[in-house]
Amino acid sequence: MLILVATPIGNLGDLSDRAKETLESADYWLVEDSRVSGKLQSALGLNIPMRVLNDHTSRSKIEDYLDLIESDARVVLLTDAGTPVVSDPGAEIVALC
């Protein structure tokens, strides 16, 4: 399952309870930058495995991520800030799903 989660564009306090629950229950996070998403994990007290999905991610890596999604893993797609796939590399994996 691929789940899209919008993240705050400024104040982490704007993250909804539902978004927090979804992030906590994920098996993997697909992120633009693990350093940025690492700060979010730290603030939430989480240690979820992250996989990078950005403009430099190879097609073969994207295929690996699709395999994760098809294996019944709960995979969350999030961007550094805002809603995934509006104007970021996540659009490709969403289209493939």
Res 86: pLDDT? 63
Quote the tokens at residue 43.
Answer: 């603030």
Q: Which of the four pLDDT bands, split at 50, 70 and 90, describes residue 89?
A: confident
**pLDDT at position 8 over 80:** yes
pLDDT higher for 96 or 73? 73
Rounded average pLDDT over 1-25: 91
Distance separating alpha carbons of residues 69 and 15, to the nearest angstrom: 24
> Percentage of the chain with pLDDT > 90?
64
Contact by Cβ (8 Å): 1, 77: no
pLDDT higher for 95 or 84? 95
Distance separating alpha carbons of residues 69 and 28, to the nearest angstrom: 9
- pTM value is 0.90
The sheet carrying 75-77 orders its strands as 2-4, 75-77, 28-31, 50-52
